[in-house]
Structure 1
Amino acid sequence: MTGYESFINQIPNAIMNRVERHLFSNIALFKPRTYIAGKMFHSEDFHVILPSAPPPDTYINGKLHSFTNRRVVVFNPGDTILSTGEGAKKEYISLLIKKDAIQRIARDMGFSSDIRFLRLENPYSGEFMQAIGAFCREVEREERFPLMLDCMAVQIMTLLLREFSTNLNSIPEEASNSDNAIARSLDYIRTYFNSNISIQDICNEINMSPYHFIRSFKQKYGLTPYQYLIELRINKAKDILACGQHSVSETAILCGFVSVSHFSSTFKRKTGVSPLEYKKA
C-alpha cells in the first residue's frame, strides 16, 4: 500500500495505464498527458500541478475558475476538482504531497497550526522549478537512491511553504513602516521576476493597496514597479545572452517574457540592438 490509492482509484484505468508515475513515502509524481473532463476528484493530501500551458476551466469546490499561464496550482486536502476541458491534451506534472509530511516540515519551521495554502495559483521562483526538475531527473534514473529522493522531497515541501502564501504567514503586518514594505516588494520582484507576477500579487505580499504601493515605489526608486521589473528582466537577459548557452527564445522564457516578440522588441528598445545581435557581439 502506498497511501495514494484513494486518489489513483478515482482515475479511469484506461487513462491511468498511460500515466507515468513514481510513488514514494511522502510525495508522488505523475506525468499525465491529458486532463480528465466531467469527473470530480478530491485528495486527502496536497495536490500540486505544474502546467505547461493554462489548464482548462475547472470547478473548484463548486466555483468555476479560469487559469492563467505559468503559475503553480495548489489544491488543499479535501478540495473538489471538476475539469470542463473535454479531453484537453496538455502534458503537465502533478504532485501529491502527504499532508502529514508537510505538517512535519511546518513544525520544523516553527509553526504549529494545520497548513492551508491561500492561493489557488502561485508565482514561482527559479529555485522552486530547479528543485522540481532535479527531482524529476532523479526519479528517472535506473539506479535511484531513496535518501536522495527523500532530501529532494523535503526541499520541495520547504520551498512550497516558504514561497507560497499559507494561513501561517497571512497575518497582516503593520503597514506603518512603508519603507519596510517597499523593501520587501523589491525582494519579491527580484525573486519572481521570471514569473507572471502582477501588481496585486506584490500588494498581497506586503499588505498595501495598489495605489499606495505604486506611488510609494516610484517615490523611492524613481521608477514604477513595472518599469523596474522590465529593467531587471533586461539586465538578466543580458547576462544570459552574454554566456552564449541559451537561445533567444530560451532567454525570453527564463526572464519572464510572455513571448519572444515582446522580449525582442523590449530588448531592442532598451539597448538599441536585438537580442541576437547582442548575443553575437
Structure 2
Amino acid sequence: MSFDDLINRIPANIHARTKSFISGDIAVFKPEKYVIESKIRMNDYHFIIFHSTPPIARVGGRELQFKKGSLVSLEPGTEITVYPHEKNQLCQYISISVKKNFAERIALEAFGRDKIKFDKLENAYSRQLIESINNFEFELTNFGNKYPIMLQSIATQIAFLLLRDTFAGSQGYSEMSITNDDDYVAKAIDYMKKYYSCSITIDGICRAIYLSPSYFSRMFKNKTGMTPYKFLLELRLAKAKELLSESGFSIEEASRLCGFANSAHLSTAFKGNEGLSPSEYRKQFQNIHTHDMKNQHR
C-alpha cells in the first residue's frame, strides 16, 4: 500500500474506526475522530474537506480556525497539529492524500504549471469534487481493484478537481460549493433520484451529504414542505406507477426495482397513499387505456 507512511502515523484506535479508500495515487479517509496534539508532517499533497467546524489547528507555525464547508489545501512538508476540542464537538470531515508526482503531473498537463504553489490554505470546494469522491468510494467498495482503468480515471478527476478548486480560490473565484441549505436539499434530492431503487435510508442520505439526521429532516421539510421520508416514498411510488402501467413487469419486480423490500411493502405503501392496491391500480390503468384506444378508433 503506497500510503503506509501516513497510515502508520495515525493512532491505531482512530484508524480502526476510519473508512479508508485507497488506490495507487490517492487515499481518501473518513475518520470519526481527530488526531489530537500529534504533529503530522505531510509528505504528499493533502486536502481536508470540513463538513463541521473543526478544532483550532496549528499549521506551519500559525494557529488557525478553519470553517465548516471549506477545503483546506496543504503542500508537501506542511506540519499540522490539531488542538484539543470539546468532548461532544462534531467530527465530520474527509481527508485526501494525493501522491506528489501524480498531483504535479496533473498540474502540468491540465494547468501548465510545472510547480504547485497554493496561495491560500482555505478554499471553497465544488459539487463535482464531492460527487467524484463518492464515485471513488463506490468503485472501491463494489469492485475493489478489478477495473484499474476506472479507478485511475476517477483518481485523475479527483486530483484535477482538488487542484482546480484550490487554484480558483487563489484567483478570487470558486464554483458553487455546498454551503447553504438549498445546496444540501438539492444534493439530497439528486441522491434519492439516483439511488431510489436501492435500500437507502434517511441516515444513509445524511451520511452522503454530511448532515445530522435531525437537522437535515427539519431543513428538508422547511424547504420542500414534506419530510425526507415522505419525499423518498412518493418518488418510489411514482416510479412504481410507471412500471405498473407497463404489462412487462410483475408487481414483485416493480417492488424490487423501486426500492421496496417486497410486494407486501409496496402494497401497504400504495394503499396508504393511493387508496388502491398495486393490482387494482394496474387494472384501473388498463381499463382507462383500453377505453381511450376504443375512442380513438371510433
Q: Considering the TM-score relative to the shorter chain, is it more than 0.5?
A: yes
- Asked if 1:117 is matched to 2:118, the reply is yes
- Could you say what secondary structure the match of 1:94 adopts? strand
Q: For residues 21 and 218 of structure 2, what CA distance do their matches in structure 1 show? A: 38
Contact 2:19–2:30 (8 Å) recurs in 1: yes
**Which residue of structure 2 lines up, in the alignment, with residue 201 of structure 1?**
none
Higher helix proportion, which one?
2
- Could you say what secondary structure the match of 1:22 adopts? strand
Structure showing greater Rg: 2
**Which residue of structure 1 lines up, in the alignment, with residue 45 of structure 2?**
46
Contact 1:59–1:84 (8 Å) recurs in 2: yes
Q: 1:109 to 1:57 in 2, by over 3 A?
A: same
- Could you say what secondary structure the match of 2:77 adopts? coil
Contact 1:74–1:121 (8 Å) recurs in 2: yes
**Which residue of structure 1 lines up, in the alignment, with residue 61 of structure 2?**
62
Structure 1 residues without counterparts, runs of 5 or longer:
173-184, 198-229, 269-273
**Which residue of structure 1 lines up, in the alignment, with residue 151 of structure 2?**
149
**Which residue of structure 2 lines up, in the alignment, with residue 108 of structure 1?**
109
**Which residue of structure 2 lines up, in the alignment, with residue 71 of structure 1?**
70
Q: Identity of aligned pairs, percent?
A: 26
Q: 1:85 to 1:137 in 2, by over 3 A?
A: farther
Cα deviation digits, residues 41-87 of structure 1 (max 9, x gap): 01110111223312211111121111211112222111110001357
**Which residue of structure 2 lines up, in the alignment, with residue 84 of structure 1?**
83
Structure 2 residues without counterparts, runs of 5 or longer:
197-204, 210-214, 235-298
Letter in 2 for 1:47: H
- Could you say what secondary structure the match of 1:141 adopts? helix
Structure 1 position 16, deviation (Å): 2.5
**Which residue of structure 1 lines up, in the alignment, with residue 160 of structure 2?**
158
Contact 1:6–1:43 (8 Å) recurs in 2: no
Q: For residues 143 and 7 of structure 1, what CA distance do their matches in structure 2 show? A: 21
Structure 1 position 153, deviation (Å): 0.5
With the length of structure 2 as denominator, give the TM-score of the two structures. 0.57
Q: 1:137 to 1:262 in 2, by over 3 A?
A: closer
Letter in 1 for 2:32: R
**Which residue of structure 1 lines up, in the alignment, with residue 25 of structure 2?**
26
- Could you say what secondary structure the match of 2:167 adopts? coil
Contact 1:56–1:83 (8 Å) recurs in 2: yes
With the length of structure 1 as denominator, give the TM-score of the two structures. 0.61
- Could you say what secondary structure the match of 2:102 adopts? helix
Q: 1:113 to 1:263 in 2, by over 3 A?
A: same
- Could you say what secondary structure the match of 1:69 adopts? coil
Contact 1:35–1:89 (8 Å) recurs in 2: no
Structure 1 stretches of 4+ moved >6 Å: 258-265
Q: For residues 170 and 17 of structure 1, what CA distance do their matches in structure 2 show? A: 36
- Could you say what secondary structure the match of 1:140 adopts? helix
- The count of corresponding residues between Structure 1 and Structure 2 is 218
- Could you say what secondary structure the match of 1:124 adopts? coil
Structure 1 position 263, deviation (Å): 8.6
Cα deviation digits, residues 193-229 of structure 1 (max 9, x gap): x5349xxxxxxxxxxxxxxxxxxxxxxxxxxxxxxxx
Structure 1 position 149, deviation (Å): 0.8
Contact 1:35–1:85 (8 Å) recurs in 2: no
Letter in 2 for 1:61: G
